[in-house]
Amino acid sequence: MSTADLLFELGTEELPAGEISAMATALCQGVTDGLTEAGLPFAKAQAFSTPRRLTVWVENLAIKGPDSEHQVVGPPVSAAKDDSGAWTKAAEGFARKQGVSADDLIVVEEQGVERVAADVSLKGAQAAEVIPDMIATAVAGIPVSKRMRWGRSRDEFLRPVQWLVLLLGDAVLPLQLFGLESGRESRGHRFHHNAPVAISSPAAYRDALREARVLVDQDERRALIAEQVLGLANKGEVVALSDDLLDEVTGLVEWPTALRGGFDPEFLAVPAQALISAMKTHQKYFHLNDASSGALLPAFITVANIESQQPEQVVSGNERVIRPRLSDAAFFFSNDKQSPLISRQERLGSVVFQHRLGSLLDKTHRIIAIAKQLADAIGADEATTLRAAELSKCDLVSEMVLELPELQGIAGAEYARHDGEPVGVAEAIEYHYYPRFAGDELPASPEATAVALADRLDTLVGIFGIGEPPTGSKDPFALRRTSLAVIRMLIGLGKPLSLTELLQAALEQHTAELSSDTPDVVSQYITERLGKWYDEDGIHISVVRAALAAGTTDLFDIDLRVRALNAFAKTETAEHLAAANKRVANILAKADELDGTPADSSLFVHKAEHALHEEVGRIGSTLAPLLADRNYQSALDELAQLRGPVDAFFEGVMVNTEDPAERFNRLRLLNGLRALFSQVADLALLSSAAE
């Protein structure tokens, strides 16, 4: 099979760094999907990207797809032949459409009906003929946040498109997009090599652009940036090489050069996070810390998109740029400290949380009330909890947070310490925003946990209560993340707490008219998130559903059940008992309603009935203290002893016997068996998922 490499490059003005990776991936996926659909095999496809280009390189692409044979089924024989056996016009039309003679038609049987069919040969696609349209379709499918027009063209894209390269082997394929025609000329670095770069073949692409000071491989560029940045740290220093900043900087440069600068140590009087935010968020600088103490150092590392002959001038320019940012942070910090944190609370009344749920001051009052109840439940110090709840949102109207929103909580903790508030209060103010994302640490104290839970429970109840749950594309209040945070905190507390009762307590603090079933709705929404939560630990959703069927809304208790059941589910006994539970469930589903009355042993006929009845009674007594202690692993071990009696019962006893009294008594026995298992989990659900 003849093959050639395919190269497509879409050259643009500078693209937003945060969108480049997803755009390049989508373009590559669009191209490979098109090739697969066209029946053109290839060995490998790679996506490259820089701020000024999105590229797809496909290696060893078949020049022509393989020919294929397939059968096309047509009308029934009754319509394809007349009474004399001659082909009708319907048959001749079908044959003509398939490109064969009517005499070449055959008869096949399909679903009991005889039909005519044609064996059709399809020629494989010619790559050069189908690729241009395929590329156009792939480009149209690139996700773009906001489209723009340029010049007089009606074409739209995220940024103006400046050139197109489309090569199959060493030949240019014709393509017209955005008023441009494809060629073999790319562009070099905007400053180092601002000129066309001829690409002789796809294989020569990366080296040709490297000569023009462009590293098109984003992975290579990212690794080089990391190496350069780490290399500028002195002994005893640590560079904060965060992945998100590294990814963003990689999307900003084509020829990276890391440079080290510094700032006035006097700025270190400002909270470190404020300085870090100014450097990272606004200037894309990497900060440095002291390796032993972890303290922020008055230095930074920037990555330039140019290899300057006077690097000291570039460093000086960056130092001049960062100084006003740090000065602003110092000014805000100093100005905010002029007033106690509590003095800002009344200003929260002018900030809308949600127009139907009131202001941030209203939300603060609700947080205080909910946190008070939580403090009692989880053993947090009430005075510390209430003071932290009272101050929790005050920093949102500080100058520092209005300028740097990511400092919410951090700024409040700093101001609380400055005001002489207890350490626990300041800590709870900062940590009530934790966990901020998946994998983030939990609040550092019971007091912080109480305020954190109160804040999130209030949000969940309020937003659901006014009928605005998240949709597939919209979640403005981050309720999915909020739900996972509630799950993590309640499980992490290791205390029995009813989720529904906590939500009911939150509902009672709202003065807005909320739906009365909100606690149940929110509880269901949160427990539905458990599948995703446990999936990260490799626990199958069927295990979660089986545990939830026990009916509790205590997330700590659910977690104990899930983990015990997950271990049990891997045993052979679990498989047998799960199948038996499903069989019992199916039998009981078809039976008349049972009132929970236990089976009457005097009506038993078979030895297996007596044995199962006795074992159910014995294990029921043994199970009670284990369940009281939430020792679900031992409880499941006890239930495992029912495997033999259950198997013997189903092998030797007919449940649906003709004698009504015997039949109803056996159903009561099975109902008691199922109730015994249901105290831990519904193993029937585990069985259905296993299948």
In the chain, the amino acid numbered 80 is A
Contact in structure between 13 and 128 (CB atoms under 8 Å) = no
Beta strands across the sheet bearing 237-239: 237-239, 286-290, 296-304, 257-262
| SS3 annotation, 401-419 | HHHCHHHCCHHHHHHHHHC
Q: What average pLDDT is seen over the chain?
A: 93
The CA-based diameter of the chain, rounded to the nearest angstrom, is 106
Structure tokens at 240: 């904060």
Q: Which pair of structure tokens corresponds to residue 232?
A: 């500028």
> 198: burial class by Cβ within 10 Å (0-12, 13-18, 19+)?
exposed
Q: What is the mean predicted confidence (pLDDT) over 339-360?
A: 96
Map 118-176 to HEC letters: EEEEECCCEHHHHHHHHHHHHHHCCCCCCCECCCCCCCCECCCEEEEEEEECCEECCCE
Could you tell me if 680 and 636 are in contact, meaning their C-beta atoms sit under 8 angstroms apart? yes
What is the average pLDDT across 199-220? 97
Contacts of 425 (CB under 8 A, 6+ apart): 384, 387, 388, 391, 416, 447
Looking at residue 191, its pLDDT comes to: 94
DSSP string, 349-390: GGSEEETTTEEHHHHHHHHHHHHHHHHHHHT--HHHHHHHHH
Q: For residue 227, what are the CA distances in angstroms to 211, 235, 306, 309?
A: 21, 16, 17, 21
Check residue 660 and give its pLDDT: 87
Nearest to 131 by CA among 224, 206, 65: 65
pLDDT at 202 over 80: yes
Rounded Cα–Cα distance for residues 54 and 141 (Å): 13
The 8-class DSSP code of residue 63 comes to S
Nearest-angstrom CA–CA distance, 417 and 154: 58
pLDDT in tens, 479-506: 999 999 999 999 999 999 999 999 999 9
CA 565/CA 588 separation, integer angstroms: 24
Between CA 168 and CA 128 the distance in angstroms is: 7
Residue 233: strand, helix, or coil: coil
End-to-end Cα distance, the chain = 43
pLDDT digits (tens, 9 = 90+) for 75-134: 888 888 888 888 898 988 998 988 888 888 888 888 888 898 888 877 888 999 999 999
Which CATH architecture does the domain made up of 570-690 adopt?
A: Orthogonal Bundle (1.10)
- Tell me what percent of the residues of the chain surpass a pLDDT of 70: 99
Query: Is residue 689 very low, low, confident or very high in pLDDT (cuts 50, 70, 90)?
Result: very low
Q: 319 and 325 in contact (C-beta within 8 Å)? A: no
Q: What pLDDT band is residue 324 in, cutting at 50, 70 and 90? A: very high
Q: Which residues of 303-329 are buried (b: 16+ CB within 10 A; e: fewer)?
A: bbbbeeeeeeebbeebeeebeebbebb
**Cβ-contact 542, 388 below 8 angstroms:** no
Of 7-11, 119-123, 250-254, 262-266, give the lowest mean pLDDT range.
119-123
Q: What is the pLDDT of residues 620-644, one digit of tens each?
A: 999 999 999 999 999 999 999 999 9
Does the structure show a pLDDT above 80 at 447?
yes
Closest CA to 669 of 582, 590, 608, 578: 608
Read off the pTM: 0.78
Residues 6 or more apart whose CB falls under 8 angstroms from that of 376 comprise 382
Q: Do you know the residue count of the chain? A: 691
**Cα distances (angstroms) measured from residue 272 to each of 241, 261, 287:** 16, 17, 10
Residues 49-58: tens digit of each pLDDT: 999 999 999 9
- Helix (H) / strand (E) containing 58: strand 53-62
pLDDT digits (tens, 9 = 90+) for 504-532: 999 999 998 899 999 999 999 999 999 98
pLDDT in tens, 554-602: 999 999 999 999 999 988 888 888 888 888 888 888 877 777 788 888 8
The answer to whether the CB of 97 falls within 8 A of the CB of 105 is: no
Contact 416, 429 (CB under 8 A): yes
Residues 275-279: what's their mean pLDDT?
Answer: 93
Q: How confident is the model at residue 688 (pLDDT cuts 50, 70, 90)?
A: very low
Q: Which tens digit of pLDDT belongs to each residue from 59-78?
A: 999 999 888 787 888 888 88
Report how far residue 578's alpha carbon sits from residue 569's, in angstroms, rounded to the nearest whole number.
9
> What integer is the mean pLDDT of 530-539?
91
The H or E element that residue 352 is part of is strand 352-354
Phi-psi region of 398 (alpha: psi -120 to 50; beta: other; left: phi over 0): beta
Evaluate the omega torsion of the peptide bond into residue 435 and state whether it is cis, within 30 degrees of 0.
yes
What pLDDT, on a 0 to 100 scale, did the predictor assign at position 337? 95
Tokens coding 366: 């609700």
The SS3 call for residue 661 is: helix
Residue extent(s) of CATH 1.10.730.10 domains in the chain:
570-690
Asked whether residue 387 carries a pLDDT value surpassing 50, the answer given is yes
